[in-house]
Amino acid sequence: MASIDKLISKINKAKSAINSFKGIASKFSSKNFTSALDKLGEQAEEAKRSLEKRRTTLEQSVANNKCKLYGKFPPPEGYEELRYPLEEDLDNYITFQTRLRRKREGQNAANVFGDTGVEIMLYIPDGLSSTANVNYTSKDVGLFARGIQDIREEEGIGATFNEMGDQIVALAKKSAAAFGNKLTANVGNINDGKASNPMQEQMLEGIGFRSFSFDYEFWPKSVDEANEINKIIYSFRTAMLPDTFGSEEDGDAENYFNFPNVFDVEFEGPVRDVLDGFLPMVCTKCDVDHFNGQKFATFTGGQPVSTKMSLEFVEIKILSQENYQQISPLGDKSITGMPSLRDDATNTNNLRNSGMDLTQISTATGRNRKGNPNREDGGGG
């Protein structure tokens, strides 16, 4: 969009140049250079009409792009939409949409973002990266273990007890020699000029949960934008914090934490079709530097001139091959990953709080186990 704006600016400059040419033409006309000037004037008018048509086309293209951006995934009904920057439109955004947390019954059970949620649209910060890690560990798979495996895979195992017995005896002799070397502190191996090979193998341990950091600087240019910034900070901190509640039997004792809101974080704009997305996440940290590392400075009314917000998130699902298909632009969307209890629970919260009965909830969550049911594509990046 920025490149289109630059092109429109160039067109406007060209129009100014044409108007200047008309002034010069009037002077030439007074000198009776009318024939050549008439031809040049016609060419200038034609160029002006062409430029005006081009500018109109480009402005319409900009308007259409904005409609596509805001119309592709409108926030669910009842959700508040917040955006920064508010004073300008960007080609690409990253959106943070809360799922509803569970509404509790009993005393002191009221909470925020249990009935309605929020969708926050922010610029994509510099230095944003994604990782994919698989954890392995080294394991000794020595002579004895390999021998047992050979016996297991031997064709005809169990055909006769004698054959199996011979294999076990041979294995026992090898193991005894190795054990003897250990008892003598490997003196035998030293004399023979050799060392034991632990015969290690890489064993898959699993996949960890990915974490992400997002750093933002806010520079309000108007009162409306300042209010929007304050709402954004408030919303992140409110959504990340658990509320407390107690059962009816416990009276006023709020002896339970209610799980905070889960976020569906997604790219919007052309970059969505290129970059890998995110699995559902929870916010683990929201730091606010109220003056962005600068000296104390505020506008009239106390609003800081600049504020920095640092967010940290961790995904609630592991990045298995199946889950990766759901967040990659090139992924096979027919493949779904292992269900996540936390993921299913927050989807159920959204459906329960929307008024569905248990049968409808069961049908909906069984049909869509990934991401946010408020989005047509299932969400989750």
Give the residue carrying structure tokens 């390999």: 146
**pLDDT tens digit string along 66-113?**
544 444 556 777 899 999 999 889 999 999 999 999 988 766 678 999
* pLDDT of 281 over the 80 cut: yes
**What are the residue ranges spanned by the domains of the chain?**
2-61, 77-130+209-335, 136-206
**pLDDT tens digit string along 223-259?**
999 999 999 999 999 999 999 888 766 666 788 899 9
**pLDDT tens digit string along 28-78?**
555 555 565 566 667 777 777 777 777 666 566 555 555 444 445 567 778
Peptide bond into 85 cis (omega under 30): yes
| Helix H or strand E segment including 135 | strand 135-140
Interstrand relation of 118-122 and 256-258 (parallel, antiparallel or unpaired): unpaired
Q: Round to whole Å and give the CA distance between 43 and 35.
A: 13
* pLDDT of 374 over the 60 cut: no
Q: How confident is the model at residue 274 (pLDDT cuts 50, 70, 90)?
A: very high
Mean pLDDT across the chain: 78
**What is the predicted pLDDT for the residue at 361?**
44
pTM of the model: 0.68
